[in-house]
């Protein structure tokens, strides 16, 4: 720094100020993003007596809320249900999605554009618009009040999304690779399973994660197609937690449940954030 | 027997004819090279033979059998791609074995055949590696191994050396020539590099805008180009062309004259009825001698290449045509020429080429096809 | 006539069908697509048609199979000097108003905040990866769970938001965020903006990271003010991605259900079209009437999607 020249000094001061302002923004942003989760976390560790002394800092480390939560047999059962449904939904979506992505992404045929529009259209469906019709289908199939009703109904949003994102990914694989397989005598099925499938694993992890999160979080269908406590998924279970009266909600237990449901997702996000971001933006940015 | 015969083969893409009726015969065991400027259809032609594109019209015979509608795996062809297109998730062994396994051979037979292939290409040490652990030249060899493992009668190569650096390219070129002799299979090779074409080919096929300009041995194409396109395409620097006028023409020859070209009699049979012709002389066939004649050329630039020099000439009327098509002459490096010197151009009669108004070569009396 | 006309008609037909390889590929493509198409038919196509049909019947949730055709009565009919049906129901129009208000406000806020967040994340600073992970958290938390977390923070007696606002003296007594009719919609909006902004920000960020850096270097060399660079260079270049983000968000906002349902239940001051339709369908068991409301919502969303696709077709055409 040149001490004698004041303009430099002023500029340097301005730079420092800008820099400081930037960091304030970054911290505010981070704080805004994670505070609700943080607050739920510290609330969940408060004994019910301390819960009503408001404080932004952790004041206790008490596990009684968690003990109460897991003492209810239906809650652990709900977590199991959610995991089961989400895993099955992901497997189904990946299986159907990969096959469809090959067809849509690698083969030129009449009607391809039409299918793409239908897939995109279904992803825009308001769930409520199919609720009554789907209810009838589910009753007819005899899967009302079972996890299968959710596996089936969740396909309405996981399938279009999976197909769309995987089609984007499969298009990026080089043409000559497929032609080499053709020269080697591979049928489309062999090309798909022995050449493309291994190369699509990263894309399938990404898409699978997003489908998992979507299925884990779904509420409307889970609320409608499942009746009994034993069959409920976690989001519905949490929405249903209530105390003796509306004014006596067990906030501590509720926050503990929220934390339990969110922690797996937070861990997934931390580990796979790069993949999640690429999956979220794959279908959209390229049009 | 695996000869390849194309009869009036056409390829149409969205209403455009990309291949405009190609007739071509490639004999069993022959090394044919398809060359031409980019977009001339040489890769498309190769892909038609491979079966990766469908033939719009015409007939393609391989080994005497009509194969228009046969899938690639039933045509008995192997192919090496420009980008190699190795399966990234498979080892070298699996890459080479993939086609054999799909052909339904038993495990032991596959292993044996892969090992034989590996030996030919000196890949034995690399069998357990993945493509990304290989150098460019090694990947190239694996790609070739994959194509030859199934003992196809015909091997197709689409610019296989273009991704290699210059030194490696020369080595692989020699390697490919050796393989051709060893395997004795028919090879069809696409390139835009005329050195590759000249050195490898038994037969060069020059393509332009979807049709064949000329097909023949390297020597035939170099010494007796059928038209100005082939004459200009084969040889580097390219052949010089001069506009000349015919003064007299009879059974014995043609008397021509042009700017900077003094009247000379050339042994061509007929002028094809036109009085305006194009004279073609290769840069290495031109001799320059100092001259003070006002009809002589001016030296406009000299490029030094070590063993020789390229001398660029300005025509006598001084017009520097902006398309930079200056006549160029190759001369020994010891030449004392300097920029601005006036020079006269001379050439021996047997090295002169004459083309008619449509660019077709005029026939020479008494000269039939050159033996090769 | 060009050389193409030399192709005999028989050959033309053959080439139109392509080689055996092509035919095999096209056949396989349809085979590979068939599970997807059957799946979409079962979960989307058929249910949608049934919903449409129910909307013209007096179907009841407990006896769906006894539905009788009643024409457009669920939508609108006139009897004894008064109109009846969804389109004559002030509650429906209230939910339409709520939905539109919610959509316009949330999407605008999410776009503005999202672009700012993307600009921050596009800067090169230490710990950027962690900040990006942090803003993914609101997106990943289940809507129901985030609603509960915010309910606790919004709690009128013990909520931290009232506590903090009173602490700095902005308000003098606790506000009933989710119960008061004037505030509850804003509470819903606050939570939705918190939850959905990361999605917009990440899309915009992805677009920003694909921008050519030489434009910026040129602007820097020319000494152009950063704000000017943003409005003249960055904004036009990220507009396509922004439009994609906006349509996704608009469609999501128009069908919003779970957030509103958990935060404010069936309160009329926040009731959206989806909440209205579900209340009719499930709670009042009036499948006919609820299906009519659902159908209208579907038509509205389709119209918006079609208009968007039509306007965006030129842009989609270029990129594909």
Q: Is the residue at C304 inside a domain?
A: no
The larger pLDDT score, comparing residue C11 to residue A39, is at A39
Per-residue pLDDT reduced to its tens digit, A235-287:
998 888 765 445 567 888 888 999 999 988 888 888 888 888 887 777 555 43
From first to last of its 320 residues, chain C has per-residue pLDDT tens of 334 444 444 444 444 445 667 788 899 999 999 999 999 999 999 999 999 999 999 988 888 888 888 888 889 888 888 888 888 889 999 999 999 999 999 999 999 999 999 988 888 888 888 888 888 889 889 999 999 899 888 888 888 888 888 888 888 888 888 888 888 899 999 999 999 999 899 888 888 888 877 777 777 788 788 888 888 888 888 888 888 888 889 988 999 998 999 888 888 888 999 999 999 998 899 999 999 999 999 999 888 888 877 776 655 443 43
In angstroms, the separation between the Cα of residue A2 and the nearest Cα of chain C is 22
B129: CB partners within 8 A, 6+ apart: B91, B92
Measured between CB atoms, does B340 come within 8 Å of chain C? Answer: no
Mutation target vs C (from B56, B60, B67, B75; most C CBs, 10 A cutoff): B56
pLDDT at C319: 41
pLDDT at B371: 40
Q: Is the residue at C298 inside a domain?
A: no
Q: Between A177, A183, A198, which is nearest B79 by CB?
A: A183
- Whole-number Cα distances in Å, C239 to C208, C213, C272: 10, 17, 29
* A182 chain-B contacts, CB cut-off 8 A: 51-52, 71-73
CB-CB neighbours of A115 under 10 Å:
20
User: CA triplet B316, B320, B326: central angle to 5 degrees?
Assistant: 80
- Whole-number Cα distances in Å, B270 to A174, B131, B361, B365, B370: 54, 60, 11, 9, 20
Spatial separation of the C-alpha atoms in residues A195 and A199, rounded to whole Å: 7
DSSP A196: I
DSSP per residue over B106-168, as a string? -HHHHHHHHHHHHHHTT-GGGTT--GGGS-HHHHHHHHHHHHHTT--SEEEEESTTTTS-HHH
Q: Is the residue at C305 inside a domain?
A: no
Q: Between B72, B77, B83, which is nearest A176 by CB?
A: B83
Instruction: Please count the structural domains in chain C.
Output: 2
DSSP C60: B
Backbone φ and ψ for C63, nearest 5 degrees, come out as -135, 65
pLDDT at C313: 63
Q: Between A96, A130, A235, which is nearest C39 by CB?
A: A96
Assess contact for A183 and B158: CB atoms under 8 A.
no
The secondary structure element, H or E, covering residue B329 is strand B328-332
Measured between CB atoms, does A37 come within 8 Å of chain C? Answer: yes
Half-sphere exposure of C87 (CA within 13 A, CB side): 12
Q: Is the residue at C79 inside a domain?
A: no
**Residue C50 shares a structural domain with residue C124:** no
Spatial separation of the C-alpha atoms in residues C3 and C11, rounded to whole Å: 14
Q: What is the mean pLDDT of residues B164-193?
A: 91
pLDDT at A90: 96
Subunits with 3+ Cβ pairs within 8 Å of C are A, B
Confidence of residue A82 (pLDDT cuts 50, 70, 90): very high
- Whole-number Cα distances in Å, A126 to A61, A148, C48, C223: 43, 21, 10, 49
pLDDT at A153: 94
Q: Chain A window 62-91: which residues touch C at a Cβ cutoff of 8 Å?
A: none
Q: Between A177, A185, A198, which is nearest B103 by CB?
A: A185
Measured between CB atoms, does A173 come within 8 Å of chain B? Answer: no
**Residue C135 shares a structural domain with residue C240:** yes
Assess contact for B271 and B254: CB atoms under 8 A.
yes
B172: CB partners within 8 A, 6+ apart: B137, B140, B160, B161, B164
Q: Scan for tokens 């800067």, then name that residue.
A: C123
Assess contact for A213 and A268: CB atoms under 8 A.
yes
β-pair type (C77-79, B342-346): unpaired
Beta bridge partners of B298: B314, B342
- The pTM is what? 0.84
Half-sphere exposure of B238 (CA within 13 A, CB side): 13
Assess contact for C134 and C188: CB atoms under 8 A.
no
C202: CB partners within 8 A, 6+ apart: A277, A280, A281, C118, C132, C135, C136
Bin B369: left if φ > 0, else alpha if -120 < ψ < 50, else beta.
beta
Measured between CB atoms, does B51 come within 8 Å of chain C? Answer: yes
The larger pLDDT score, comparing residue B80 to residue B257, is at B80
pLDDT at A7: 64
CATH number at residue C134: 1.10.3720.10
Confidence of residue B261 (pLDDT cuts 50, 70, 90): confident
Q: Chain C window 271-300: which residues touch A at a Cβ cutoff of 8 Å?
A: 273-274, 277-278, 281-282, 287, 290-291, 294-295, 297-298
Mean pLDDT of chain A: 86
- Whole-number Cα distances in Å, A49 to A52, A58, A60, C150: 7, 14, 11, 21
**Residue C49 shares a structural domain with residue C183:** no
Bond before B237 cis per omega within 30 degrees = yes
Domains of chain B are 4-231 (3.40.50.300), 237-355 (2.40.50.140)
**Residue C113 shares a structural domain with residue C241:** yes
**Residue C184 shares a structural domain with residue C247:** yes
Q: Does residue B119 carry a pLDDT above 60?
A: yes
In angstroms, the separation between the Cα of residue C240 and the nearest Cα of chain B is 30
Confidence of residue A147 (pLDDT cuts 50, 70, 90): very high
Spatial separation of the C-alpha atoms in residues B181 and B273, rounded to whole Å: 47
Q: What is the mean pLDDT of residues A142-165?
A: 92
**Residue C134 shares a structural domain with residue C40:** no
Mutation target vs B (from C3, C9, C12, C22; most B CBs, 10 A cutoff): C3
The secondary structure element, H or E, covering residue B92 is helix B92-102
Mapped onto helix, strand or coil, the DSSP state of residue C110 is: helix
Q: Is the residue at C165 inside a domain?
A: yes
Query: For chain A, which residues make up each domain, given as ranges?
Result: 1-62, 71-285
Q: Which superfamily, per CATH, for A71-285?
A: MetI-like (1.10.3720.10)
Assigned token pair, A68: 């109460």
pLDDT at C19: 64
Q: Count of A–B CB contacts within 8 Å?
A: 52
pLDDT at A142: 93
B208: CB partners within 8 A, 6+ apart: B36, B37, B40, B229, B233
Q: What percent of chain A has pLDDT over 90?
A: 38
* C24 chain-B contacts, CB cut-off 8 A: 71
Q: Residue C26 belongs to what domain range?
A: 3-54
Q: Which residue in A252, A250, A248, A204 sits closest to A61, CA to CA?
A: A252
Q: What is the mean pLDDT of residues A139-151?
A: 93
Measured between CB atoms, does A205 come within 8 Å of chain B? Answer: no
Q: Between A56, A128, A261, which is nearest C255 by CB?
A: A128
- Whole-number Cα distances in Å, B196 to A3, B120, B178, B180, B191: 67, 22, 14, 14, 7
Q: Which residue in B337, B313, B342 sits closest to B325, CA to CA?
A: B313
Q: DSSP strand E in chain C: where? A: 77-79, 82-84
Classify residue A90 by burial, with Cβ atoms within 10 Å: 0-12, 13-18, 19+.
buried
Q: Is the residue at C320 inside a domain?
A: no
**Residue C108 shares a structural domain with residue C33:** no
Spatial separation of the C-alpha atoms in residues A265 and A214, rounded to whole Å: 11
First-residue to last-residue Cα distance in chain A: 49
**Residue C189 shares a structural domain with residue C121:** yes
In angstroms, the separation between the Cα of residue B152 and the nearest Cα of chain A is 11
Measured between CB atoms, does A38 come within 8 Å of chain C? Answer: no
Assigned token pair, C179: 């119960």
Assigned token pair, A128: 């409520």
Q: What is the mean pLDDT of residues B193-221?
A: 93
**Residue C41 shares a structural domain with residue C153:** no
* B88 chain-A contacts, CB cut-off 8 A: 199
* A281 chain-C contacts, CB cut-off 8 A: 202-203, 206
- Decide if A129 and C295 are in contact by the 8 Å CB cutoff: yes
Half-sphere exposure of A260 (CA within 13 A, CB side): 26
Q: Scan for tokens 């938390």, then name that residue.
A: C141
């Amino acid at each position: 720094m040149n001490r004698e020249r004041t303009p430099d000094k002023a500029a340097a001061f301005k730079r420092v100020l800008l820099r400081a302002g930037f960091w304030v923004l970054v911290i505010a942003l981070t704080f805004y993003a994670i505070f609700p989760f943080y607050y739920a976390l510290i609330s969940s560790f408060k004994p019910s007596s301390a819960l009503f002394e408001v404080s932004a800092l952790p004041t206790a480390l008490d596990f009684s809320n968690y003990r109460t939560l897991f003492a209810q047999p239906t809650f652990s059962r709900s977590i199991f249900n959610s995991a089961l449904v989400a895993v099955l939904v992901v497997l189904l979506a990946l299986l159907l999605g990969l096959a469809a992505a090959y067809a849509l992404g690698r083969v030129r045929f009449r009607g391809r554009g039409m299918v793409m529009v239908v897939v995109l259209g279904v992803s825009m469906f308001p769930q409520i618009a199919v609720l009554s019709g789907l209810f009838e289908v589910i009753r007819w199939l005899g899967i009302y009040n079972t996890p299968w009703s959710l596996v089936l109904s969740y396909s309405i949003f996981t399938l279009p999304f999976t197909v769309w994102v995987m089609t984007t990914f499969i298009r990026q694989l080089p043409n000559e690779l497929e032609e080499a397989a053709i020269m080697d005598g591979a049928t489309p099925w062999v090309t798909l399973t022995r050449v493309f499938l291994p190369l699509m694993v990263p894309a399938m992890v990404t898409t699978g994660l997003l489908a998992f999160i979507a299925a884990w979080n779904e509420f409307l269908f889970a609320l409608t197609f499942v009746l009994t406590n034993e069959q409920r998924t976690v989001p519905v279970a949490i929405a249903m937690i209530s105390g003796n009266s509306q004014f006596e909600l067990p906030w501590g237990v509720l926050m503990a449940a929220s934390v339990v449901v969110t922690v797996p997702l937070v861990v997934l996000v931390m580990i796979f954030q790069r993949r999640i971001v690429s999956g979220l933006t794959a279908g959209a940015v390229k049009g | 027997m695996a000869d390849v015969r194309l009869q009036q083969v056409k390829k149409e893409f969205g209403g455009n004819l990309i291949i405009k009726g190609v007739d071509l015969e490639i004999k069993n065991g022959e090394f044919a090279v398809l060359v031409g400027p980019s977009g001339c259809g040489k890769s498309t032609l190769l892909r038609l033979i491979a079966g990766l594109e469908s033939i719009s019209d015409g007939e393609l015979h391989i080994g005497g059998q009509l194969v228009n509608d046969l899938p690639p795996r039933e045509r008995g062809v192997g192919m090496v791609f420009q980008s190699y297109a190795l399966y990234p998730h498979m080892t070298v062994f699996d890459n080479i074995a993939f086609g054999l396994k799909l052909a339904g051979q038993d495990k032991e037979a596959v292993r044996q055949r892969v090992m034989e292939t590996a030996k030919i290409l000196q890949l034995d040490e690399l069998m357990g590696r993945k493509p990304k652990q290989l150098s460019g030249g090694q990947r190239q060899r694996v790609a070739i191994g994959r194509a030859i493992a199934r003992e196809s009668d015909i091997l197709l190569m689409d610019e296989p050396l273009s991704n290699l650096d210059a030194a490696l390219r020369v080595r692989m070129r020699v390697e490919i020539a050796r393989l051709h002799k060893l395997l004795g299979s028919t090879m069809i090779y696409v390139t835009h590099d005329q050195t590759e074409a000249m050195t490898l080919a038994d037969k060069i096929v020059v393509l332009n805008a979807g049709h064949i300009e000329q097909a023949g041995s390297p020597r035939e194409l170099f010494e007796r180009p059928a038209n100005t396109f082939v004459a200009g395409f084969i040889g580097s620097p390219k052949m010089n062309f001069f506009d000349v006028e015919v003064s007299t023409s009879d059974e014995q020859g043609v008397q021509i004259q042009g700017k900077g070209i003094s009247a000379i009699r050339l042994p061509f049979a007929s002028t094809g009825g036109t009085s305006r012709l194009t004279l073609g002389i290769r840069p290495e066939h031109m001799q320059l001698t100092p001259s003070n004649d006002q009809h002589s050329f001016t030296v406009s630039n000299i490029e030094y290449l070590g063993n020789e020099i390229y001398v660029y000439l300005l025509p006598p009327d001084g017009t520097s045509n902006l398309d930079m098509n200056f006549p160029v002459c190759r001369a020994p490096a010891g030449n004392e020429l300097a920029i601005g010197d006036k020079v006269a151009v001379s050439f021996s009669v047997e090295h002169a080429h004459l083309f008619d108004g449509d660019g077709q070569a005029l026939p020479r009396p008494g000269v039939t096809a050159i033996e090769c | 006539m060009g050389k193409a006309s030399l192709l005999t008609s028989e050959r033309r037909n053959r080439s139109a069908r392509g080689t055996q390889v092509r035919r095999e590929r096209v056949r396989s493509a349809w085979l590979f697509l068939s599970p997807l198409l059957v799946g979409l038919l079962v979960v989307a196509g058929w249910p949608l048609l049934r919903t449409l049909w129910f909307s013209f019947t007096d179907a009841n949730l407990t006896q769906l199979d006894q539905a009788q055709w009643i024409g457009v009565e669920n939508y609108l009919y006139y009897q004894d000097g008064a109109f009846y049906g969804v389109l004559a129901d002030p509650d429906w129009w209230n939910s339409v108003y709520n939905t539109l208000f919610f959509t316009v406000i949330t999407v605008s806020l999410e776009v503005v905040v999202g672009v700012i967040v993307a600009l921050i994340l596009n800067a090169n600073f230490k710990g950027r990866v962690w900040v990006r992970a942090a803003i993914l958290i609101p997106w990943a938390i289940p809507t129901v769970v985030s609603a509960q977390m915010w309910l606790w923070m919004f709690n009128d007696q013990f909520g931290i938001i009232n506590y903090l606002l009173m602490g700095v003296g902005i308000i003098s007594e606790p506000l009933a965020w989710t119960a008061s009719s004037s505030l509850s919609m804003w509470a819903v909006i606050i939570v939705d903006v918190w939850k959905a902004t990361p999605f917009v920000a990440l899309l915009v960020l992805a677009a920003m990271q694909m921008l050519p850096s030489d434009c910026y270097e040129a602007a820097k060399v020319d000494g152009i003010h950063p704000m000017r660079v943003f409005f003249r260079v960055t904004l036009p270049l990220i507009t396509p991605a922004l439009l994609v983000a906006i349509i996704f968000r608009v469609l999501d906002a128009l069908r919003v259900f779970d957030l509103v349902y958990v935060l404010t239940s069936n309160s009329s001051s926040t009731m959206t079209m989806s909440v209205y339709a579900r209340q009719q369908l499930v709670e009042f068991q009036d499948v006919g009437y609820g299906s009519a409301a659902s159908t209208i919502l579907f038509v509205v969303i389709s119209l918006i999607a079609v208009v968007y696709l039509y306007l965006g077709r030129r842009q989609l055409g270029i990129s594909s």
